[in-house]
Amino acid sequence: LPRLSEDELIATIFAPLAGPGGLRLEDDAALLKVAVGEELVLTKDMLVAGVHFFADDPPDAIARKALRVNLSDLAAKAAEPRGFLLGLGLPGDWQEDWLKAFAAGLGEDCKSFAISLLGGDTVRTPGPLTLSITAIGAVPEGKMIPRGGAKAGDHLFVTGTIGDAALGLKLRRNAEGDQAWIGSLDETQAAYLRDRYLLPQPRVGLRQALRAYAHAAMDISDGFAGDLAKMLRLAGLTIEIGAGQVPLSEAARAALAAEPQCLSTILTGGDDYEILCAIPPEEKAGFAASAAAAGIKVQEIGMCTPGREPVRIRDAKGELLSFEAGSYQHF
Amino acid sequence: LPRLSEDELIATIFAPLAGPGGLRLEDDAALLKVAVGEELVLTKDMLVAGVHFFADDPPDAIARKALRVNLSDLAAKAAEPRGFLLGLGLPGDWQEDWLKAFAAGLGEDCKSFAISLLGGDTVRTPGPLTLSITAIGAVPEGKMIPRGGAKAGDHLFVTGTIGDAALGLKLRRNAEGDQAWIGSLDETQAAYLRDRYLLPQPRVGLRQALRAYAHAAMDISDGFAGDLAKMLRLAGLTIEIGAGQVPLSEAARAALAAEPQCLSTILTGGDDYEILCAIPPEEKAGFAASAAAAGIKVQEIGMCTPGREPVRIRDAKGELLSFEAGSYQHF
């Protein structure tokens, strides 16, 4: 079968995902109108097969993950998703069916998250499949929640649960040292963890609660312990928390019960795509109610105090934990 | 020597290029303020070593080319550059010196084109060096010049000269069939063509002339003949031009004199990063004067007329040219 040319591929597979600003993907660029009183929030994440996802993951899941990791950044800034540009580096052996499934997954997430394709670029690469998405959101003027805005006395909250995706990645890899705890999970628990790695759940619904109550917020993507430290360092603050304060799923608790070493993976493994935020004490109830109204589970993990010393996390016996790597590093 | 971590690399090498909206590259996302009465123009180009540039090109030139191909899209839309996000996929053997030179080149172009870094992502890739830039520009409301807006009777103009970069790429490759004409060039001519491939000259200065006079404009990047056809097809128009109307550099004319087959490379080879635009007949003088005031050479190539038939280009003897590929295809 003759391959689609780049122009045909764009016209048949990607143009249907374009919103009004995408100009049917027929122009050199996209056009984005911004309402008076709004500011834009822009983020860009790049994903490479074999580094950020498995090349044999379902194509619709690859597309969704690439979009969702960007939506998670917008969510943490309290921005409403508006549009995105897609850079797609395709290996020489790409198949039309694969690309159609990829676009279908992207299209479903465009609907779910009310975002549309603005443009992009499709190129050939001799390397692995490479995706680069730039996502654009909007906030009312002055309402982007900064990463560094926490104040002494603020209480920190975390959405969802931590560590699932990192455990899910270990499940996928199934290394010898992990097989005991992996074997102890039932199929529902294992599937839950695998799915949390495959398909992040960006907390876009939290934006009203953040705009109304948060001093600071960030997306937890490079490991809870390291990202917590990043937020507090920017603000000249520190915190001491018990590991028991960190919200865990039932599946993660089962893994941890089978293998206590899983705690390090949970707290530093990355790929959580949950939101960490700082809420002043008098606003805790309002924030919790607003998050609950949006259907998003939040858990308080502790109060930050002035100080430059590193974040301390204690285990159930009160002993200070130390991690080989506080944060996932891409290098 | 220990490698810089991703965070250190961003803080030491890229943060100095960040503008106010880049928030010192310390946040999850960038913040872009848009003035009342402005609209944003967004474009994204992805470049892969070995496909869009040579891996052993000077690092500063690689950075500049990646930025400039995006600036060329903004220029064609009459947009003023405002900021960009950089996705950088680094092979495992990256060197700090290489990256510093890359950032230095980027920094110089940030100054030259009055644009600043807003954010991005740096990842490891097992494949070749991969760059993905999203550039953002601004236009007064309603003033983005569309690709498809040409009207019957409009005269088409081209900036600069066509075919230099495609010939420069052939020079770099030095294939056996090209060695006769390559050998006939003097060193100044050869260096000129090589430089045109290495370092595009985005025509950002043309934006006032386009805003004031153009019905349609596009960036010529995938080959003059094919891009010309794309613009006219969108408008339901056609054109017949003489190849002699296409503006050529002295070096390209020398190559063509030595090897008439070079005409196909010149007209379809791509990487020109010049602007094609449609100007109503009564505005030709105004447009030419405005372009001249901006220091940009423009040449009229012909008048478009209603019609769905393909663009025709005739050679000096009046014979109709046909090309194996009307346009550069990435697949």
Residue A32: partners with Cβ closer than 8 Å, 6 or more residues away: A21, A40, A82, A83, A118, A136, B39, B40, B41, B42
What percentage of chain B carries pLDDT values higher than 90?
Answer: 92
Which residues does B77 contact at the CB level (< 8 Å), separation at least 6?
A: A27, A28, A29, B41, B43, B137, B139, B144, B145, B217
Give per-residue pLDDT as tens, B170-201.
Answer: 999 999 999 999 999 999 999 999 999 999 99
pLDDT at A41: 98
Query: Residue B2: what pLDDT?
Result: 60
CB contact under 8 A, A85 and B124: no
Interval B20-48: pLDDT, tens: 999 999 999 999 999 999 999 999 999 99
Q: Which two tokens stand for residue A162?
A: 């931590």
Q: What is the pTM (predicted TM-score) of this model?
A: 0.95
Confidence of residue B6 (pLDDT cuts 50, 70, 90): confident
Q: Which of residues 71-90 of B touch A (CB under 8 A)?
A: 73-74, 76-77, 79, 85-89
Q: Tell me phi and psi for residue A246, to 5 degrees.
A: -75, 125
Write down the residue that tokens 């975390």 correspond to: A158
Q: Contact, A279 vs A157, CB < 8 A? A: yes
Output the average pLDDT for chain B.
Answer: 95
Q: Residue A125 is nearest to which of B48, B86, B124, comparing CB atoms?
A: B48
Q: Which of B3, B12, B132, B219 is the best mutation test for A, with the most CBs of A within 10 A?
A: B132
The residues of chain A scoring below 70 in pLDDT are 1-2, 324-331
Helix axes A164-173, A250-258, angle to 10 degrees: 60
Q: How far apart are CA A160 and CA B254, in angstroms?
A: 67
Please tell me if residue B24 touches chain A, with a CB cutoff of 8 Å. Answer: no
Cβ-based neighbours of A242, under 8 Å, separated by 6 or more: A302, A313, A314, A315, A316
Which DSSP letter does residue A245 get? Answer: G
User: Is the CB of residue B40 less than 8 Å away from at least one CB of chain A?
Assistant: yes
d(CA A128, CA B122): 16
Interchain contact, A73 vs B29, CB within 8 Å: yes
Q: What are phi and psi of B30, to 5 degrees?
A: -100, 160
What is the Cα–Cα distance from A326 to A328, expressed in whole angstroms? 7
Q: Using CB atoms within 10 A of its CB, is residue A297 exposed (0-12), middle (13-18) or buried (19+)? A: middle
Put simply, whether A15 touches B (Cβ < 8 Å) is: no
ipTM summary value: 0.94
Option in B119, B122, B125 nearest A130 (CB)? B125
Predicted confidence (pLDDT) per residue in A90-138, tens digit: 999 999 999 999 999 999 999 999 999 999 999 999 999 999 999 999 9
Q: Are B20 and B123 in contact (CB under 8 A)?
A: no
From residue B260, give the alpha-carbon distance in Å to each of B181, B188, B197, B263: 9, 21, 20, 6
**Token output for B204:** 């950002």
Say which range, A218-222, A280-284, B145-149, B327-331, has the weakest mean pLDDT: B327-331
